[in-house]
């Protein structure tokens, strides 16, 4: 049972992670049930790689005690952006945080997106809030001269979050919405199937509801295109200790917090069902 452990080789929160007191610069609702938080977090901002996350403490009280993991949407200068969905009591409290509130985070954490040196054309696939860990990646790929195509899916036009970031780096943004309020009506898997048929992509990067990621993974396997996914799990420690966030892989159980959250899609055992987290 390799990978079945709490202290594997890959084992610990990046050596550079630290507990950082941060200032909240802004916290706005940008769509129904979606917030964008901008934090002054110089340590994390200087080190974070696309796809990594921070473990945020949103309250000093003891009512809800666990931190919440959020991927860093983008980092610029000394600031990081966090896109979050208001789903439970914790994120509801998060939406009410103001600039004077006491916030800290542990970061940067986890294993982010792998960007091989020899890729020419990448396809980014987002489903709803799945855009969160992909903003910084799109910028990095574009800066490296990689041609980027983005396929975005969301319930409605309003909830196509992160769109500005993608449109700033590529004109090839394809959209699908559940209600047809913009782009093709239906799931993002429709346009992705066509893109995979037409294009020759060296890598697909996907994040969204797990059922979507699973479908994209299967499509990429058939098209013989490597694919990476960012998986969401409930976490307590965020640094590889508690074994709450395990993901079933072909090498046994791995921890989303240190071995992920980004995994090679071919490595994940998609049949091991997961109930979507709500926090």
Partner 1 sequence: MTVATDLSVTIGSLKLRNPVVTASGTFASGREYANFVDLSRLGAVVTKGVSLKPWAGNASPRIAETSCGMLNSIGLQNPGLDVFTQKDLGWLETQDVPVIVNVSGHTVEEYAEVCRKLDGDRRVDAFEINISCPNVDSGGMVFGTSCPEAASVVSACREATSKTLIVKLSPNVTDITEIARAVVDAGADCVSLINTLLGMAVDADTRRPKLARVVGGLSGPAIKPVALRMVWQVANAVEVPIIGMGGIADAQDAIEFMLAGATAVAVGTANFVDPTSTMRIVDGLTEYAHSRELHKITELIGALEV
Q: By the criterion CB under 8 A, which residues form the site for partner 1?
A: 1, 4-7, 11-13, 15, 17-19, 57, 62-67, 90, 106, 233-244, 246, 253, 258, 274-275, 277-279
**Minimum distance between the CB of residue 75 and partner 1, rounded to whole angstroms?**
20
Smaller CB distance to partner 1: residue 147 or 234? 234
Tokens in use for 222? 């058939």
Tell me the backbone φ, ψ of residue 142, rounded to 5 degrees. -60, -40
CA distance 240 to 259: 8
> Is 20 in a helix, a strand, or coil?
strand
Q: Which is nearer to partner 1, 97 or 223 (CB)?
A: 97
Q: Would you say 19 or 30 has its CB closer to partner 1? A: 19
Contact between residue 17 and residue 107 where contact means Cβ atoms under 8 Å apart: yes
Nearest residue (CB) to partner 1, 207 versus 237: 237
Q: Are strands 227-230 and 203-207 parallel, antiparallel or unpaired?
A: parallel
Q: Which residue has the tokens 């997961």?
A: 274
Q: Residue 103 Cβ, how far from partner 1 at the closest point, in Å?
A: 13
Smallest separation, CB 16 to partner 1 (Å): 8
**Quick one: 156 or 244, whose CB is closer to partner 1?**
244
Nearer to partner 1, 88 or 186 (CB): 88
Q: Is residue 257 within 8 Å of 108, Cβ to Cβ?
A: no
Q: How far is the CB of 156 from partner 1 (least distance, A)?
A: 21
User: What 3-state class would DSSP assign to 71?
Assistant: strand
We find the least distance from the C-beta atom of residue 80 to partner 1, in angstroms, to be 19
Distance in angstroms (rounded) separating the CA atoms of residues 81 and 40: 9
d(CA 71, CA 41): 14
Could you tell me the smallest distance in angstroms from the CB atom of residue 254 to partner 1? 12
DSSP letters spanning 199-254: ---SEEEEESSHHHHHHHHHHHHHHT--EEEE-----SSSSSSS--SEEEETTEEE
**Cβ(69)–Cβ(122) under 8 Å?**
no
Residue 60 vs 194, nearer CB to partner 1 = 60
Report the chain's terminal Cα–Cα distance, integer Å.
31
For residue 124, the Cα-to-chain-centroid distance in whole angstroms is 12
Closest CB to partner 1 among residues 87, 97: 87
Q: How many CB atoms lie within 10 A of CB 205?
A: 30
Q: How far is the CB of 209 from partner 1 (least distance, A)?
A: 15
CB of 268 to partner 1, least distance (A): 13
């Amino acid at each position: 049972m390799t990978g079945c452990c709490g202290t594997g080789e890959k084992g610990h929160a990046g050596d550079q992670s630290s507990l950082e007191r941060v200032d909240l610069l802004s916290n706005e609702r940008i769509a129904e049930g979606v917030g964008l938080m901008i934090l002054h977090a110089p340590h994390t901002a200087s080190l974070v790689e696309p796809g990594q996350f921070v473990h945020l403490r949103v309250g000093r009280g003891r009512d809800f005690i666990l931190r919440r993991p959020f991927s860093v949407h983008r980092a610029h200068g000394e600031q990081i952006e966090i896109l979050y969905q208001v789903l439970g009591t914790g994120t509801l409290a998060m939406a009410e945080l103001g600039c004077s509130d006491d916030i800290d985070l542990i970061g940067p954490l986890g294993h982010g997106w792998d960007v091989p040196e020899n890729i020419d054309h990448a396809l980014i696939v987002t489903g709803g809030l799945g855009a969160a860990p992909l903003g910084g990646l799109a910028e990095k790929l574009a800066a490296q001269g990689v041609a980027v195509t983005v396929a975005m899916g969301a319930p409605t036009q309003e909830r196509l979050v992160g769109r500005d970031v993608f449109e700033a780096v590529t004109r090839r943004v394809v959209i699908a919405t559940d209600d047809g309020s913009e782009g093709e009506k239906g799931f993002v898997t429709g346009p992705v199937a066509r893109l995979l048929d037409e294009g020759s992509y060296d890598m697909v990067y996907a994040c969204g509801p797990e059922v979507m990621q699973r479908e994209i993974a299967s499509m990429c396997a058939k098209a013989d295109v490597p694919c990476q996914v960012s998986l969401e799990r409930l976490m307590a420690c965020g640094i590889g200790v508690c074994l709450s966030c395990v993901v079933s892989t072909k090498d046994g159980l791995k921890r989303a917090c240190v071995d992920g959250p980004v995994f090679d899609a071919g490595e994940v055992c998609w049949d091991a069902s997961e109930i979507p987290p709500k926090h």
